[in-house]
Structure formats: C-alpha cells, structure tokens
C-alpha cells in the first residue's frame, strides 16, 4: 500500500511538472515597449462681447450745436474680441431706426449712423496700416474689423451721426413737446474665423 501511495504521489508530481511546462510554453514572450499617438488638436474659437455697462448707446440731440453739427459718441473698450486665429468682425442692424411708440413709418435710415472701431491701448494685432474702416449701418452684414492673427483684443467703437444728422436734418424728428422722441434699432456684432 505504501508503494501504491508513493507511486500515486510520484505520478502527481510528474503530472504537475508536465502541466506547468505546458503552461509556460503557451505564455507569449514579454514586450519591452509600446507606443501611443498623442494629438494636440485646435479648433477655431471666436468670441465677441459688448461691454456690459455699454449695452445702450445714445446719440443725443439736446443743443442747437447738436442739431447743427450732428452727434458722435465714442464708447471706450466697447468690444472684447477673442479668436484662436485670424478673424473678421461684421456689424448689422435690425433695420432702420424706428420711433418708439410711433407708427412704424417714422424712421431714420440705418445708413445715417456710421460705426468705426479702433484698437484699445495695448492691442498688438495687425489690423492694417490704414486703420479700420468707417462703416454705414445696414441690415446687411458689413465688415468692421479683420486680422490675420488671433488674440484677445479690446476695441473702442465710435457711433457717428455727424454726416447725415447735421445741418438741422432732424429738426422735425422731435414730435411731442412734453417728452423725448426716441428712434431705435438693434446693432449686432458677429465674428467668424478668417
């Protein structure tokens, strides 16, 4: 019986060695290194923000000189523009300036107000050697600012009504003696990658 036990134990040991060897034979060789591809991807990002304290711009005709010469107002640091590359800013209106509380036919053409942007101090973008153009407002998009390189910029914007609003052109736009007549339009600034 003892011999049987010894033979059984020997058979188990031999089987164990054979099984371990066959498992070792199936393990692939080790791989000392591997690679991964790392991509840095850039998508165009543009943002344009009107200064929150300047959401309303008033061209006020309050004096004889205003009616004679027209009115121009410059809003400092009015627009903040961010672009990850070259960009173009355009401007448009909702239509002509319409009298608040009027009939809808009491209007001032949008084109009678011109806008022009100028870089704030510290802007380092290349906005052209001749300066930025003065643009007549329109319901069609008009190019206002363009650059071939990106950055984070601020711009002053001038709203100018001197060319068409002077020479007493608006004498009869004030319709009620007891209150101020207001003509309004919404101006929208748009930015896109260039």
In a domain, 30, yes or no: no
Identify the band that residue 9 occupies on the pLDDT scale cut at 50, 70 and 90: low
Look at residue 14 and tell me whether its pLDDT is greater than 70.
Answer: no
Q: What is the mean pLDDT of the chain?
A: 86
In a domain, 186, yes or no: yes
In a domain, 92, yes or no: yes
CATH number of the domain encompassing residue 130 = 2.60.40
Give the model confidence (pLDDT) of 167-177 as tens digits: 999 988 887 77
Q: How many domains would you assign to the chain?
A: 1
Average pLDDT for residues 15-22, to the nearest whole number? 55
Domain limits for position 63: 46-193
Q: What is the pTM of this model?
A: 0.79
In a domain, 73, yes or no: yes
In a domain, 32, yes or no: no
In a domain, 11, yes or no: no
How many CA atoms lie within 13 Å of 83's alpha carbon, on the beta-carbon side?
22
Look at residue 128 and tell me whether its pLDDT is greater than 90.
Answer: no
In a domain, 147, yes or no: yes
In a domain, 14, yes or no: no
Q: Which residue has the higher pLDDT, 177 or 12?
A: 177
Identify the band that residue 102 occupies on the pLDDT scale cut at 50, 70 and 90: confident
Both tokens of residue 32?
């000392």
What region, left, alpha or beta, does residue 95 occupy, with left being phi > 0 and alpha being psi -120 to 50 degrees?
Answer: left
Report yes or no: 40 and 46 within 8 Å, Cβ to Cβ.
Answer: no
Identify the band that residue 135 occupies on the pLDDT scale cut at 50, 70 and 90: very high
Both tokens of residue 149?
């390189």
The pLDDT, as a whole number, for residue 176 is 74
Interatomic CA distance for residues 118 and 115, integer angstroms:
10
HEC-encoded secondary structure of 164-181: HHCCCCCCCCCCCCCCCC
Torsion of CA 137, 140, 142, 148, to 10 degrees: 150
Look at residue 2 and tell me whether its pLDDT is greater than 70.
Answer: no
Give the model confidence (pLDDT) of 22-80 as tens digits: 555 566 788 889 999 999 999 989 999 999 999 999 999 999 999 999 999 999 999 99
């Amino acid at each position: 019986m003892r011999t049987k036990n010894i033979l059984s134990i020997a058979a188990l040991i031999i089987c164990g060695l054979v099984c371990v060897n066959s498992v070792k034979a199936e393990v692939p060789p080790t791989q000392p290194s591997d690679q991964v591809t790392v991509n840095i991807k850039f998508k165009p990002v543009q943002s344009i923000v009107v200064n929150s304290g300047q959401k309303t711009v008033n061209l006020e005709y309050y004096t004889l000189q205003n009616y004679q010469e027209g009115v121009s107002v410059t809003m400092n640091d009015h627009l903040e523009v961010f672009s990850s590359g070259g960009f173009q800013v355009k401007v448009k209106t909702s239509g002509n300036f319409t009298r608040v509380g009027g009939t809808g036919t009491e209007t001032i053409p949008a084109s009678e107000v011109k806008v022009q942007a100028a870089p704030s101090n510290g802007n380092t973008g290349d906005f052209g050697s001749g300066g930025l153009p003065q643009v007549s407002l329109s319901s069609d998009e008009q190019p206002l600012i363009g650059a071939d390189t990106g950055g984070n910029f601020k711009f002053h914007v001038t709203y100018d009504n001197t060319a068409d609003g002077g020479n007493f052109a608006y004498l009869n736009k004030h319709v009620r003696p007891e209150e101020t007549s207001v003509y309004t339009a919404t101006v929208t600034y748009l930015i896109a990658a260039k």
